[in-house]
């Protein structure tokens, strides 16, 4: 969901040279396709997690190294993701299947300065996505450990851009840039079928789970963009991961569980440009509190640390867990 300074410079140079967007090989429909595809991945906490207090884990482990690239941390600091998931259990047969309906509200924001030249006052750019996800799935129990879950998700996304032109050079091009990309609002929908294979093992000390997921997304904007085309976000992701939950014997005043997860995520399509890779890794650990005794709406909450490695947003964050297990 990011626009690089390089893209911004490319647009300005193209316009100032009286080259139209099509001839400059810049496509608003492709740009918005990447934005919507990245938003879907950002809403999937198994695929990508953000929090507060972003940091570089390599810098902590190798404090003597002063040459660590901070671009990914700067990008993480620009992005905020707030998500509220809620799962409703529908009909079930405890030995054969469990139907569920998942509802999710999400707000995604990327905000930062964009500079054409170090001598110019940078412009300020804010991108926001307001999203709703409705998913329906059926978990089929193969035996007491193995299960397979086909699912279908529908996303409704509203995108809003607010761009402030702070230099005379960019102000002179405001009309053309606003017509292409900035200070705009667009809507889109995304349909995403998927399937998940899971092996869950309960033990005296807790439980662990291996999961392999495949998701394919295909969407479309509700209106044409500046180039006369519809945005058409498209792509797939495969998540192979491991989760572990260690239940504490005494948890009267402390957390109920220690939680650990590790995922490899492979992606293709419109998300590759935004994340700058075809695959990356996610590691998270923290503690969970079981609060089912106080409310029926939430099973657990918690706090932990999440680390991303191998993408444009590599780095660590302090995260808050909500219905994590």
Q: Using one digit for the tens of pLDDT, what is the confidence trace for 13-47?
A: 555 554 444 445 678 899 999 999 999 999 887 65
Give me the residue spans of the domains in the chain: 25-322
- pLDDT tens for 190-236 read 999 999 999 999 988 889 999 999 999 999 999 999 889 999 999 99
Indicate the class that CATH gives domain 25-322. Answer: mainly beta
What pLDDT, in 10s, does the model give residues 159-193?
A: 999 999 998 888 888 888 888 889 999 999 999 99
Structural tokens at position 195: 């399937």
Chain centre to alpha carbon of residue 281: 14
Distance CA 271, CA 267 (A): 7
Q: What is the pLDDT of residues 270-294, one digit of tens each?
A: 999 989 999 999 999 998 888 877 8
What integer is the mean pLDDT of 120-139? 94
Average pLDDT value over all residues in the chain: 84
The Cα angle at residue 102 between residues 276 and 191, in degrees rounded to 5: 50
- Burial bucket for residue 53 (CB in 10 Å: 0-12, 13-18, 19+): exposed
Residue 177, phi then psi, degrees to nearest 5: -70, -40
Give the residue among 307, 269, 266 at the shortest CA–CA distance from 285: 307
Considering the entire predicted model, what is its pTM?
0.85
Average confidence (pLDDT) over 77-98: 86
Dihedral class, residue 180 (left if φ above 0, else alpha if ψ from -120 to 50, else beta): alpha
Mean pLDDT of all residues in 125-142: 96
pLDDT at 22: 45
Burial of 137 (0-12, 13-18, 19+ CB in 10 A): buried
Instruction: Return the percent helix, strand and coil in the chain, to nearest 5.
Output: 15, 50, 30
pLDDT tier, 252 (very low <50, low <70, confident <90, very high otherwise): low
Q: Residue 30: name the closest of 9, 5, 3, 48 by CA.
A: 3
Q: Which residues contact 249 (CB under 8 A, 6 or more apart)?
A: none
């Amino acid at each position: 969901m990011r626009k690089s300074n390089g893209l911004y410079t490319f647009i300005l140079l193209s316009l100032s040279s009286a080259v139209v967007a099509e001839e400059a090989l810049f496509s608003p429909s492709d740009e918005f396709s990447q934005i919507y595809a990245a938003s879907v991945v950002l809403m999937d906490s198994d695929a990508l997690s953000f929090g507060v207090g972003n940091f570089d884990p390599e810098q902590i482990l190798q404090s003597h190294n002063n040459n660590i690239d901070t671009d990914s941390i700067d990008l993480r600091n620009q992005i905020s993701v707030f998500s509220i998931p809620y799962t409703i259990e529908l009909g079930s047969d405890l030995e054969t299947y469990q139907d569920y309906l998942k509802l999710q509200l999400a707000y995604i924001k990327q905000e930062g300065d964009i500079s054409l030249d170090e001598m110019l006052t940078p412009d300020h750019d804010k991108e926001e996505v307001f999203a709703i996800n409705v998913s329906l799935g059926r978990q089929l129990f193969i035996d007491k450990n193995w299960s397979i879950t086909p699912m279908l998700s529908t996303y409704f996304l509203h995108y809003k851009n607010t761009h402030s032109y702070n230099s005379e050079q960019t102000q002179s091009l405001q009309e053309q840039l606003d017509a292409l990309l900035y200070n705009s609002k667009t809507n889109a929908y995304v349909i995403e079928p998927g399937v998940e294979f899971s092996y869950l093992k309960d033990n005296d000390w807790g439980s662990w789970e291996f999961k392999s997921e495949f998701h394919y997304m295909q969407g479309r904007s509700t209106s044409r963009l500046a180039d006369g085309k519809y945005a058409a976000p498209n792509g797939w992701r495969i998540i192979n991961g491991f989760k572990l939950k260690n239940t504490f014997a005494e948890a009267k005043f402390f957390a109920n569980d220690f939680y650990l997860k590790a995922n490899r995520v492979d992606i293709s399509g419109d998300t590759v440009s935004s994340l700058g890779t075809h695959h990356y890794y996610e590691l998270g650990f923290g503690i969970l509190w079981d609060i089912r005794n106080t409310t029926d709406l939430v099973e657990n909450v918690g706090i932990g640390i999440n680390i991303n490695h191998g993408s444009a947003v590599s780095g660590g964050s302090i995260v808050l867990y909500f219905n994590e297990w």
